[in-house]
Amino acid sequence: TVIKGNPAAIISSKNIAVTQAPPLFLSDDQVLGLLDWETLVPAIESVIAGVDRGQVIQPARLVMRIPDKDAVVLSMPGYVKGTNTSQDGSPDDSLAVKIVTSFTRNKDIGLPSILATVLLYNPDNGKLKVVMEGTEITKWRTAAASVVATKHIFPRSKESGLIVAIMGSGAQASIHAKAFDANFNVKQINIWNHRYPGAQDLVNKLSSEGLKSVKAFEHGQDAVKEADIIVTATYSSVPVVKYEWIVKRDVILMLLEQE
């Protein structure tokens, strides 16, 4: 796809929708090129604050299960009343629908379990502006929300030398390791997976990407016992962390759940 102009500017501009221009298509790679923690974390922070101020419309998501495929389809519309003005001087309201598919057997064919599409509309007339693959933005957004939660509700989040334990070694485990490494003063990241080689593979991948002090653990209890921050990112139907494993008195626990 050839994008004329800066995709970020096109997305935030309303002019594209006023004309008869067809929707822009953005691939995951193109979306990835627009994502960074410095922009995303404050954006998520501001939208969560907007919920409190009544600036966000976000109905409960529609969940469709397909039991014979171990699959779920989630439909998530959302509207955010803008507070700033965009380049053309009008408020930067946003109207979008995200559709997520969760096919847990996808690992067998080398596809992510969670795939997503985001449809972005002109908030004043409902015209479709952008169709984007939403798998990367979904990964990043989820981890950014964990960062925001940690910043605001974990009193020790500004401490240095934090230990993060991550249960799972898939897409969310990986992006949470990167998010916590980039946004907090982390001393060590412990990775546990129900299949140990998965934890080792993720440690190798993160280390090769420059993360320091990432360690694989064979037993969940060992991974969490010194942890300040614990993230569970698995498809397990039973708890992967036991209360009695947690040694420190003030720990933040983030549970990423399948519907």
Ligand X SMILES: O=C(O)C1=NCCCC1
- Residues interacting with ligand NAI, by CB under 6 A? 102, 107, 113-114, 138-139, 142, 168-173, 193-195, 198, 233-236, 240, 256-258
User: For residue 149, how far is the Cα from the chain centroid?
Assistant: 13
* Cβ burial, residue 182 (10 Å; 0-12/13-18/19+): middle
- Binding-site size for ligand X (CB under 6 A) equals 5
Q: Give the DSSP letter of residue 169.
A: -
Contact between 138 and ligand X by CB under 6 A: the answer reads yes
Going by C-beta distance under 8 Å and a sequence separation of 6 or more, which residues neighbour residue 199?
169, 191, 192, 193, 216, 217, 218
Q: Which two tokens stand for residue 132?
A: 């984007």
- Select the binding partner of residue 7 from ligand NAI, ligand X, none (C-beta < 5 to 8 A, by kind): none
- Select the binding partner of residue 169 from ligand NAI, ligand X, none (C-beta < 5 to 8 A, by kind): ligand NAI
Contact between 102 and ligand X by CB under 6 A: the answer reads yes
Nearest to 42 by CA among 184, 147, 159: 147
User: Which lies closer to ligand NAI via its Cβ, residue 4 or residue 195?
Assistant: 195
Residue 247 CB, shortest distance to ligand NAI, in Å, is 22
Residue 23 CB, shortest distance to ligand X, in Å, is 21
Instruction: Count CB atoms within 10 A of the CB of residue 191.
Output: 26
H or E segment and range at residue 162: strand 162-167
Closest residue to ligand NAI, judged by C-beta, is: 170
User: Which lies closer to ligand NAI via its Cβ, residue 61 or residue 156?
Assistant: 61
Residue 66 CB, shortest distance to ligand X, in Å, is 14
User: Which lies closer to ligand NAI via its Cβ, residue 235 or residue 245?
Assistant: 235
Contact between 100 and ligand X by CB under 6 A: the answer reads yes
Contact between 114 and ligand X by CB under 6 A: the answer reads yes
Residues that bind ligand X (CB under 6 A): 100, 102, 114, 138, 258
